[in-house]
């Protein structure tokens, strides 16, 4: 470790794809001598084994599994419906969780939080400590490409970031303004939010430059670290899985993470029909448990174990699953549902590691068969995927993120200690 030992709190609640990288970062920091606490959602404690944790009483990711939230997200193209749904669905949970998050930050001198709502900024202001931001997808304004949550920018790429930033802030502003006033006793934030205040805060961009080349207009405080992979400990697969893998050529993995379609039975039938038409075996991470000669349905299997044993992957384009498939060196067919998934699907295709994305609302046997066939049989695509896999596997994303936090020159407490002559003995 270089510099001062720090007591660091990392906000790691969200989907599994959000939690695992944060656990990997936490373990990396702990190994370098820092004190680390993770704020995680209930039920995810096993992932953070060996680290100090504050467990939230509600798992925000579980909201995605409710019919109400799925319907709200499907209607996201209507701004009025989206705002009304946000206030009805998110606000009650957010007001409860903010108190738990504050309690989890006790005794910290550095907060590492995702961008949404600038919660880390408000807490750091209240506690008088430093904070850094996590970007799981590119969220720093640039002219090079539009914001991952925006489908079209009409040439106004940089403006798209400010628009998304302001939409997110205006949605959550009533909650955070009340919290700042009643709980934190802080001044009311400006109408435009704390955007300017956080402009120079260090950013840990948790993705690979091999996947998203660093735009020339990103400032030095944005660190594109590479992915933060959490490699599972020794894992013993079910004999059904090992027997299936040994019984024939490598299968195609099909899984959509926490995304659940409105008609899962129809999706299973579509996937099975596409695999059959392509003449390929498959492993499905969704649907009713079962197996036949060509398709096996499995439960929770670590991507780091399974994907390198497959021919290709069909997935939803979540940041974590995209990273895992790329590191495995296999082509991927991305079927985005919403959010940044379309962006990652576009990157996979642009890099030559998969065919054009197939949005989940357009999923049908014929287009899925064509894309699976391309992913499995296009030698150029397979070589490109393998090349990317080697590059990503060689990166030390966790190490680079830790170094960025340790070597930054922005730490108020370090500067204050130096001014008082305390040196590094804190």
Q: What pLDDT band is residue 83 in, cutting at 50, 70 and 90?
A: low
Spatial contact of 210 and 392, defined as CB atoms under 8 Å apart: yes
* pLDDT tens-digit readout, 276-286: 999 999 999 98
Tokens of 360: 């989940």
151, pLDDT greater than 80: yes
Q: Which residue has the higher pLDDT, 333 or 291?
A: 333
Q: Tell the CATH topology of 239-393.
A: Rossmann fold (3.40.50)
Number of residues that make up the chain: 426
112, pLDDT greater than 90: yes
* pLDDT tens-digit readout, 37-57: 999 988 888 889 899 999 998
Domain 7-227+395-419 matching CATH 3.40.50.2000: the answer reads yes
Q: Looking at the chain, which residues constitute the CATH 3.40.50.2000 domain(s)?
A: 7-227+395-419, 239-393
Provide the pLDDT for residue 259: 83
* pLDDT tens-digit readout, 345-380: 999 999 999 999 999 999 999 999 999 999 999 999
* pLDDT tens-digit readout, 55-72: 998 776 665 555 655 565
Q: What pLDDT band is residue 93 in, cutting at 50, 70 and 90?
A: confident
Provide the pLDDT for residue 407: 79
396, pLDDT greater than 70: yes
Tokens of 104: 């989890």
Provide the pLDDT for residue 365: 97
* pLDDT tens-digit readout, 192-211: 877 666 777 899 999 999 99
Provide the pLDDT for residue 366: 97
Q: Which residue has the higher pLDDT, 122 or 81?
A: 122
Mean pLDDT, to the nearest integer, of 89-111? Answer: 85
């Amino acid at each position: 470790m270089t510099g001062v030992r720090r007591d660091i709190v990392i906000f790691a609640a969200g989907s599994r794809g959000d939690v695992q990288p944060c656990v990997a970062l936490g373990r990396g920091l702990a190994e370098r001598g820092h004190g680390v606490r993770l704020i995680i959602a209930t039920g995810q404690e096993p992932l953070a084994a060996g680290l100090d944790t504050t467990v939230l009483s509600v798992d925000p990711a579980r909201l995605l599994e409710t019919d109400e939230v799925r319907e709200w997200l499907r209607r996201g193209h209507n701004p009025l419906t989206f705002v009304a749904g946000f206030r009805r669905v998110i606000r009650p949970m957010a007001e409860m969780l903010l108190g738990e998050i504050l309690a989890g930050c006790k005794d910290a001198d550095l907060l590492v939080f995702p961008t949404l709502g600038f919660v880390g900024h408000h807490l750091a202001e209240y506690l008088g400590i430093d904070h850094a931001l996590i970007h799981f997808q590119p969220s720093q304004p640039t002219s090079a490409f539009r914001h991952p949550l925006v489908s079209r920018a009409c040439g106004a790429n940089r403006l798209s970031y400010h628009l998304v930033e302001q939409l997110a802030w205006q949605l959550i502003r009533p909650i955070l303004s009340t919290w700042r006033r009643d709980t934190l006793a802080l001044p009311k934030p400006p109408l435009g939010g704390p955007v300017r205040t956080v402009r120079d805060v260090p950013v840990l961009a948790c993705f690979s430059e091999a996947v998203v080349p660093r735009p020339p207009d990103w400032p030095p405080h944005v660190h594109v670290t590479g992915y933060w992979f959490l490699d599972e400990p020794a894992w013993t697969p079910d004999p059904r899985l090992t027997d299936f893998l040994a019984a024939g050529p490598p299968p195609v993995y099909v899984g959509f993470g926490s995304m659940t379609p409105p008609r899962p039975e129809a999706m299973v039938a579509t996937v099975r029909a596409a695999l059959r038409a392509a003449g390929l075996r498959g492993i499905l991470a969704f649907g009713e448990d079962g197996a036949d000669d060509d398709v096996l349905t499995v439960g929770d299997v670590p991507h780091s174990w399974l994907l390198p044993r497959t021919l290709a992957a069909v997935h939803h384009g979540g940041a974590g699953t995209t990273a895992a498939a790329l590191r495995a060196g296999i082509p991927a067919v991305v079927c985005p549902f919403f959010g940044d998934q379309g962006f990652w699907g576009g990157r996979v295709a642009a890099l030559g590691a998969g065919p054009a994305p197939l949005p989940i609302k357009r999923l049908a046997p014929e287009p899925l068969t064509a894309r699976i066939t391309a992913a499995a049989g296009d030698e150029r695509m397979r070589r490109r995927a393998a090349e990317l896999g080697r590059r990503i596997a060689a990166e030390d994303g966790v190490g680079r993120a830790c170094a960025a936090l340790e070597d930054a020159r922005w730490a108020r407490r370090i500067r204050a200690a130096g001014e008082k002559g305390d040196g590094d003995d804190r």
